[in-house]
Amino acid sequence: MTNATETKKAKRQKPAKANLAKEAKSQANKDLSDEQLVGFYREMVRIRRFEERSLRAYQQGKIAGFLHLYIGQESIAVGCISLMQENDHVITAYRDHGHALAVGMSMDECMAELFGKATGCSKGKGGSMHYFDPARNYWGGHGIVAGQTPLGAGLAYGLKYQGKKGCALCFLGDGAINQGAFHESLNLASLWDLPVVYIIENNGYSMGTSQERSSVHPEIGLAARADGYNMNWAKINGESLFDIREGVKNAMDLARNECKPSLLEIHTYRYQGHSIADANHKKYRTKEEIDDYRKNHDPITLYRDFILKSKLLDEDQVKQIDQDAKAEAEKSAQFAEESPFPEEGDIVKDVYWEEDNPDQKVSEGRIFFND
Amino acid sequence: MPEITYRQALKDAMIDELKRDENVVIIGEEVAQYNGAYKVTEGLLKEFGPKRIVDAPISEAGFIGMGIGASMLGIRPVMELMFWSFAYVAWDQIINNAASVRYMSGGQINVPIVIRGPANGGTGVGATHSHTPENFIANTPGLKVVCPASPYDAKGLLKTAIRDNDPVYVMESTIMYNDVGEVPDDDYLVPLGKADIKREGTDLSLIAHGPSVLVCLEAAEILKSEHDIDAEVVDLRSIRPLDEETIVNSVKKTNRAVLVEENKPFCGVDAQIAYLIQNQAFDYLDAPVQRVSAIDAPAIYSPPLEKIQLPKADVVVKKALEIC
């Protein structure tokens, strides 16, 4: 008899070290212009500086609730979203700041949302976990683990129903893969050939529980679960923006051209806690592990080295991008600080479409029950 | 006026809306090839084809969440739950996502989804299949919920629900699917938030929704024939939005009220109605407001006991006589 808890479980495996100079020549990347290549760097740096500034604001008591930082994972949002076309859509979970900035939302509206201000992207009604910008095909920002995964299938269903050639990118964390809604979504996506690309941003920990303590999977990794749904899958090294673009482009093409879903697993790491309320390495991981990722696998550092080696930019220009991002983040904090809070009357707005459009209201009776 | 069943009325509503708007799609378990677990969608697959009428696997969280996502892009899914009791495995989608996406996006999104299906006890299927969650739904800002109790209302309310730009949840009753009533052929709508006086009366208001409306109509006949009490029966039809005016006006006229529902008593819909009446018609009341709800326990299987557990005309009569 083997005690189940003693059975050897497959562990998260670190991918082979990225080689950006080589990966930049792959199919999805070889035609990128210098401007685009520099643009990716700028986007990643903007996300990091924005979040570092938001962390300070949180520590100053300007931001309430949770703040799930994306620091360490920026290559994923920037790489994936750089591949989006007109009819592509994106939806994610609560670690959503990076995706928001990557689709083009402004630092001002994002920071103001964290501060709970009326000028925030959701008028201060959503907070950190609930950024939205449907005009940029960005459908949130969802707070319940895996709760967005059926919605992602729905975006793909809607595209297919309307006969549009596009796909939905649905991001989730590695903690979401054990939720029932996720498995139901995979089955539906494969059963109905929905053009959705599920992207597991595997940072190794579902809150404080490591992958090996939460998820059984074949030695090769989490995404292999897709085999059970007869679905295309792949594993991608998240420290290389180029690897991300290559792998995700293949999946997006499959979705757009053949209406086939995919499940991708991108290996990544977050340096901060699950949220800022999380005690971090003192409880569930070692300082050495965090330092190793920071020093040797940071996607921005690796990309900066590539940019410098390729002579796309020199040291001064790289520094300038960094300083510009810091200044933009600082300005956004100032904007957020100076913006007004929503008014009391705003609490009952944006609840029902019909109440917000009184000229088209057809319902009668009482809809709010405040005395 | 033609007489059709409650079931046919629901189907006619869907047919009208499928024809009117190409974005309307019917999705649910057994709705297409099987022709509907309760035959509400019978024949729709043949008439509209598999793009519009879609059989879903048994994955309520998955397919309802999918419908919510699609509705954000302008699709108008009408999702059938074989029983509203099955909503509980999809609660995060039904309550959290459908109700909150508009709010959390600061009004940038709306979710024009309909979820419909039976929500009633009395059919010998035990506790897991006999839930009446209209009170849970009504407790959630962002959602609307209606409980039609006649074929006329079933068609008119479902059509309105499908055209509504907010999530509207329609709670039907398997017990009423075969009930027959007059339903016009024309394109009429019943507005949400409008109650209906199903029987005029002067001595007492019986206020109900869903299958309890029929219980009240039966009780009203007994009160009239055996006790010479003329009861008015108010059918709420819509729980949220709620037609407070009709309720209050009826009580102001009759000065007495018995509230009847299949919900369990604690925090049921009628707890809110009772509050409303004392708040807005206090000086008109000649007696305390009375309630008849399901007996406060999980739905019992044993058929004779299940009948006792649910609101019955004789219990409504007894409560009425206590205050008349």
pLDDT for residue A177: 97
Tokens for A166, please give them. Answer: 């596009």
* Mean pLDDT, range A132-145, rounded to an integer: 97
> Cβ contacts of residue B255 below 8 Å, gap of 6+?
B284, B285, B286, B287
Write down the mean pLDDT value for chain A.
Answer: 95
Which pLDDT score is estimated for A7? 57
- Which residue type occupies B319? K
CATH 3.40.50.970 fits B3-182, yes or no: yes
Residues of B in contact with A157 (CB under 8 A): 66, 69-70, 75
Q: Render pLDDT for B172-198 as a digit per residue (tens, 0 to 9).
A: 999 999 999 999 999 999 999 999 999
H or E stretch at B257: strand B257-260
Q: Quick check: B193 and A153 CB within 8 A?
A: no
Q: pTM of the prediction? A: 0.97
Per-domain boundaries in chain B: 3-182, 196-323
- The CATH class, in words, for B196-323 is alpha beta
By C-alpha distance, the chain A residue nearest B56 is A188
Could you read off the pLDDT of B238-290 as tens digits, one per residue?
Answer: 999 999 999 999 999 999 999 999 999 999 999 999 999 999 999 999 999 99
- Topology of domain A43-360 in CATH is Rossmann fold (3.40.50)
Q: Select the residue of B103, B108, B240 nearest A134 (Cβ to Cβ).
A: B108
Amino acid at B259: L
Task: Say whether A365 and B142 touch across the interface (CB within 8 A).
Answer: no
Per-residue pLDDT of A202-226, as tens digits, reads 999 999 999 999 999 998 999 999 9
Residue listed under structure tokens 């009004």? B107
Cβ pairs bridging A and B (under 8 Å) = 194
Contact A74, A44 (CB under 8 A): yes
Res A280: pLDDT: 64
* Inter-chain CB proximity A91 and B102 less than 8 Å: no
Hey, are the CB atoms on B166 and A354 less than 8 Å from each other? Answer: yes
Q: Is the ipTM of this complex over 0.90?
A: yes
The reply to whether B196-323 shares the fold of B3-182 is: yes
Distance CA B157, CA B163 (A): 10
Asked if residue B207 lies in contact with residue B296, where contact means CB atoms within 8 angstroms, the answer is: no
Task: Please give the average per-residue pLDDT across A114-142, as a whole number.
Answer: 98
Instruction: Tell me the per-residue pLDDT of A312-352, one tens digit each, with 9 for 90 and over.
Output: 999 999 999 999 999 999 999 999 999 999 999 999 999 99
Regions of chain B with pLDDT less than 70: none
For residue A182, the distance in angstroms to the closest alpha carbon of chain B comes to 8
pLDDT band with cut points at 50, 70 and 90 for residue A96: very high
The DSSP output letter for B205 is E
Residue with tokens 């074989």: B82
- State the burial class of residue A348 (Cβ atoms within 10 Å of its Cβ: 0-12, 13-18, 19+): middle
Secondary structure, 3-state, B93-158: HHHHHHHHHHHHCCCCCCCCCEEEEECCCCCCCCHHHCCCCHHHHHCCCCCEEECCCCHHHHHHHH
Q: Count other Cβ atoms within 10 Å, centred on residue B279.
A: 11
> Which is higher by pLDDT, A7 or B102?
B102
Residues comprising chain A, all counted: 371
Residue A8 has pLDDT above 80, yes or no: no
Instruction: For B163, name the nearest residue in chain A, comparing CA atoms only.
Output: A362
Residue A4: per-residue pLDDT:
53
Rg over alpha carbons for chain B, rounded to the nearest Å, is: 19
Would you mind telling me the total number of residues written for chain B in this entry?
Answer: 324
Instruction: Give the number of other CB atoms < 10 A from CB of residue A254.
Output: 17
Read off the pLDDT band of A239 (50, 70, 90).
very high
Asked if residues B106 and A120 have their Cβ atoms less than 8 Å apart, the reply is yes
To the nearest whole Å, the CA of A121 is away from the closest chain B CA by 7
**A121 and A131 Cβ atoms separated by less than 8 Å:** yes
Residue A209's φ and ψ, nearest 5 degrees, are -105, 120
> Catalytic residue numbers of B?
60, 129
Given this model, what pLDDT does residue A3 score?
55
Q: A184 or A277, which is more confident?
A: A184
